[in-house]
Structure 1
Amino acid sequence: MAAETQLWINGEWVKAQRYVTLENPHTEEDIAHIGYASVAQANDAIQAAQEAFLTFRETPAWQRAHILRSVAELIADRRDELAETIAREAGKPMRAAKGEVNRTVETYRFAAEAARDIRGESIPLDAAPNGEGYMAYTIQRPLGVVAAITPFNFPMNLVAHKVGPAIAAGNTIVLKPAEQTPLSALVLAKLFKDAGLPDGVLNIIPGDGKELSEALTTHPDVAFVTFTGSPRVGKLIRAQAGLRKVTLELGSNSPLLIDAGFQQSELEQIADETVQGAFTYNGQVCISIQRVYVHQSHYDEFTQMLAKRAAALRIGDPLDEKTDICSLINQAAADRLKQWLDSAVEKGAKVVTGGHFQRRVLEPTVLVDVPADTQLRTEEAFGPIVLVEPFATWSEAIAKANHSKYGLNAGAFTKQLDHALEASRKIEAGAVLINQVPTFRVDQMPYGGVKESGTGREGVRYAMQDMMDIKMVAFRSSAFHK
């Protein structure tokens, strides 16, 4: 019988108002009955977080760091178990799930280090004529209650990228995990409790995003909103949040540029990295490679290299260590992707390899001649599909990369320094990675986008900057005259 989960509010398990069945995306079997919070319970969680903040904001940095490091070690001790949880509820292949757990450990360790290193600066007020006789400095203070809304594709590490910086900065949190992946978040309740986190600092309320989003973004005690998900929902959250600080990570259709001048062995290596960057976790990664622009001198050869590698990926159960590709997150995702693929083919796109569905599983797919007005070119596929297109000049390649409403990560392989510098200056993205695929990310780097890819930055220290206010303090040395 599938287990029944509860809500975590103010350090206690609370019975939910209703329950929704959670299924394994690959096997479609029931794995849990998830307790969903009502709006009233969301308000209870926010109130608990606000009350906890009044004391937690004064918790010394060493103690916050100790809690975060303890959580990191507790997660490390349960790597295999937690990876299996991710694999079962997210349908993520086990190797990728284990990699996510390892990154989660690192994210909390980075947060522990950052908690010890919050600092301000001295301000030379005497640089202005009326600033003489003052000593001034800044301090950084936590904002208050952080409302965190997380996606399904990295259900443990993207939670860590919100929870870790919030606690490191001295804030409290109300976390609403994705409907598809609540188990990886709920496990944090006991882990943080065992690590010594005070009650009310972390509250976890699975639920319906449409039902809870307004409470989480408009409640007067919510000081900061951090969301990872679709641009449509991100725009709604931005509108609801008003003057609150908001960080939005809204996805992409990441481009990869491959210049002329590579030897065959070098192209082989780029193809190896491209197939990983395009098809890891079935392409359900915000910075998954979706568009590949290859110099015309390499186009035919590289396309075949990529197709050969894509066709060799193994489809199977996510719990099998040998699996590369498995089910998309749900039937709706599969139906959408099939519609987009069929539409592109009807308009003239050619399938080099893949293109076939087995229920929710799409074979790794490489397309060429994809028309500019298709959704696979203009939208985020979030599936195992990559488009390949030739270019004649480097400037043309950059223009093609920029022909998108998104701008999260971009990658560019080139041997020419001037081309590398031109790409770094002109590609419109939050990160431009030279001689690397756009799917590259380490957890201390600034991460976020431009255009419809969002606002603000994650990466522990960068997220913390948004989760704190700068307060200036000035001492007047000669306030009273005899």
Structure 2
Amino acid sequence: MAKKMTSRGFLLDGQEIFAGREMEIRSPWDQSVIGSVREAERSHAVEAVRLLDRAFATTRTLASYERKQILEKVAASIAAAKDELAQLIVAEAGKPLKAARVEVDRAVLTFTTAAEEAVREGGEVLPLDLLKGSEGRWGMVRRFPAGPIFAITPFNFPLNLVAHKLAPAIAAGCPILLKPAPQTPFCSLRLGDFILEAGWPSEALAVLPLTNEDAEFLLEHEDRLKILSFTGSAKVGWALKQKAARKRVLLELGGNAAMIVHGDWPDLAGAAKNIVVAGTSYAGQSCISVQRVYVERPIFDEFIQNAVRHAGTLVCGDPANEATDVGPVIRTAEAERIESWMDEARAAGATVLTGGSREGNMVEPTLLTGTRSPMKVLDEEAFAPILAIEPYDDFDAVLNEVNRSRYGLQAGLMTRDVGRIFQAYEKLDVGGLIVGDTPTWRLDPMPYGGVKDSGMGREGIRYATEEMTERKLLVMAL
């Protein structure tokens, strides 16, 4: 039984407001009601934008040290509430407890890094005496906060991906309206509490569970919102971009991350273990979860044996259990979709090496081979504990196969050949290449984002803060 949460209102102008429709939040594990939140109405959203617009006059003038102090206090509050927040993540997201604790630690790092970036805002001086008649001229470029931000976050990292919106906004000096995922609002509301307690102006933050229709209304009708920062599915993200006509749009979208294991990799058993974990952790519900694995043919059979053996050691079940490695997927509808994709692959000739079944919201860790396009488990984002493992003979050909995907978020490569490393780095159409580890590896300060259907713009604290600012030029003719 999931832990029961108290009911929450939404956050507007520093107040918790119990208005609008009450929404029950259920545990992905056992479907029990863990609490309820209030869904804000369109009028509340419009009022939030008005308040954010007014608050911008204050946040844009906050000194660097003031923003730094606020962010440091938030980081300290998260660290002090580690157990509470981990339990929230387990209850509303179904994430295994040990992974939930890691997410809390990452959120502390996110806010700590943002505090450092808040005082690193630099600029540049430009020589402009480059033509006759321009003597005595020079320029200065500085970054200024862009204005109110509309952030939309997904369910799978209900604390840290929210932190990746709020922390850079505060570092940049931008007010922010957050629409949390409807499945996981509690972490967002709790984080909002910490931010207001830390001294961020009450008008400059709103945490509003909203309908998709009201979110689209804001994008189409509120010019006072200057930036949309969205993390979620490619289908939804690109549709929202079409509605955000004159706004800057930052999209961190999906993927079907590929992993290449070359024959010179010295620890094949360790590679197989890491890759299986990276493809099944949190039931594969990460946009950089390993989904496609390409193994050089001479080591393919040995890799398969190691991967199947390790998949059999994974502990599946109750996410509140300390030993659990793989918990439930977020909704029954998602479990049914995943099952249908596995059935489609089997019917088209794929072989199930291990797994392949589901019970309720639990999908068994599954390894497949013999997959080919247009199987959805290979071509689409599975968001499931499924890995398609295939052999390859030619390195250049396998790079082409990785690039065949319409996604391009991160890829992984295990080889000791420096030439092949740089060949892959130059050729692969991805936002990041992880060598010696899986594409699922991410450290929060690094630039993170993709190409093609995987999005546009970059997260990672410094890079997101820059995206939330405008360059302004000052020319001096003295």
Question: TM-score, structure 1 length as denominator?
Answer: 0.97
Contact 1:355 1:365 in 2 (8 A): yes
Tell me the secondary structure at the aligned position of residue 126 of structure 1. coil
The reply to whether residue 199 of structure 1 matches residue 199 of structure 2 is: no
The reply to whether residue 368 of structure 1 matches residue 369 of structure 2 is: yes
Residue type matched to 2:231 in 1?
A: T
Residue type matched to 2:230 in 1?
A: F
Shift of the alpha carbon at 1:212? 2.1
Residue type matched to 1:23 in 2?
A: R
Partner of residue 66 from structure 1, selected from 69, 76, 83: 69
Partner of residue 26 from structure 2, selected from 23, 26, 31: 23
CA distances 1:176-230 after superposition (whole Å, capped 9, x unpaired): 0001100000002221122111111211001222432331464111010100011
Contact 1:38 1:212 in 2 (8 A): no
Q: State the partner residue of 2:399.
A: 398
> Matched residues in 1 for 2:189 and 2:5: separation?
16
Shift of the alpha carbon at 1:422? 0.5
Tell me the secondary structure at the aligned position of residue 226 of structure 2. strand
Partner of residue 41 from structure 1, selected from 25, 39, 44: 44
Once the two structures are superposed, the pairs formed by residues 287-306 of structure 1 within 5 Å of their partners are 287-306=288-307
Q: State the partner residue of 1:85.
A: 88
Q: State the partner residue of 2:231.
A: 228
Residue type matched to 2:321 in 1?
A: D
> Matched residues in 2 for 1:465 and 1:62: separation?
18
Q: State the partner residue of 1:480.
A: none
Q: State the partner residue of 1:334.
A: 335
Residue type matched to 1:363 in 2?
A: E
Residue type matched to 1:247 in 2?
A: L
Q: State the partner residue of 2:103.
A: 100
Runs of 5+ in structure 2 lacking a partner? none
Q: State the partner residue of 1:426.
A: 427
Residue type matched to 1:28 in 2?
A: Q
Tell me the secondary structure at the aligned position of residue 200 of structure 1. helix
Shift of the alpha carbon at 1:304? 1.6
Size of the alignment, in residue pairs?
475
Contact 1:349 1:369 in 2 (8 A): yes
Shift of the alpha carbon at 1:243? 2.1
Shift of the alpha carbon at 1:46? 1.1
Tell me the secondary structure at the aligned position of residue 73 of structure 2. helix
Residue type matched to 1:66 in 2?
A: Q
Partner of residue 128 from structure 1, selected from 131, 134, 138: 131
Contact 1:145 1:223 in 2 (8 A): yes
> Matched residues in 2 for 1:60 and 1:262: separation?
50
CA distances 1:337-361 after superposition (whole Å, capped 9, x unpaired): 1111111111011100001101110
Residue type matched to 2:16 in 1?
A: W
Contact 2:371 2:378 in 1 (8 A): yes
Residue type matched to 2:196 in 1?
A: K
Once the two structures are superposed, the pairs formed by residues 311-326 of structure 1 within 5 Å of their partners are 311-326=312-327
Question: TM-score, structure 2 length as denominator?
Answer: 0.98
> Matched residues in 2 for 1:322 and 1:306: separation?
20
Runs of 5+ in structure 1 lacking a partner? 478-482
Shift of the alpha carbon at 1:130? 3.8
Residue type matched to 2:238 in 1?
A: K
Contact 1:150 1:177 in 2 (8 A): yes
The reply to whether residue 242 of structure 1 matches residue 209 of structure 2 is: no
> Matched residues in 1 for 2:130 and 2:186: separation?
55
Tell me the secondary structure at the aligned position of residue 123 of structure 2. coil
The reply to whether residue 284 of structure 1 matches residue 285 of structure 2 is: yes
> Matched residues in 2 for 1:114 and 1:217: separation?
32
Residue type matched to 1:137 in 2?
A: M
> Matched residues in 2 for 1:107 and 1:397: separation?
35
Tell me the secondary structure at the aligned position of residue 312 of structure 2. helix
Tell me the secondary structure at the aligned position of residue 355 of structure 1. coil
Partner of residue 150 from structure 2, selected from 144, 147, 154: 147
Residue type matched to 1:29 in 2?
A: S
> Matched residues in 1 for 2:131 and 2:459: separation?
35
Residue type matched to 1:344 in 2?
A: A
Residue type matched to 1:351 in 2?
A: V
Q: State the partner residue of 1:436.
A: 437
> Matched residues in 2 for 1:136 and 1:80: separation?
51
Shift of the alpha carbon at 1:232? 1.0
> Matched residues in 1 for 2:219 and 2:11: separation?
16
> Matched residues in 2 for 1:344 and 1:312: separation?
24
> Matched residues in 1 for 2:214 and 2:361: separation?
27
> Matched residues in 2 for 1:135 and 1:370: separation?
60
The reply to whether residue 75 of structure 1 matches residue 62 of structure 2 is: no
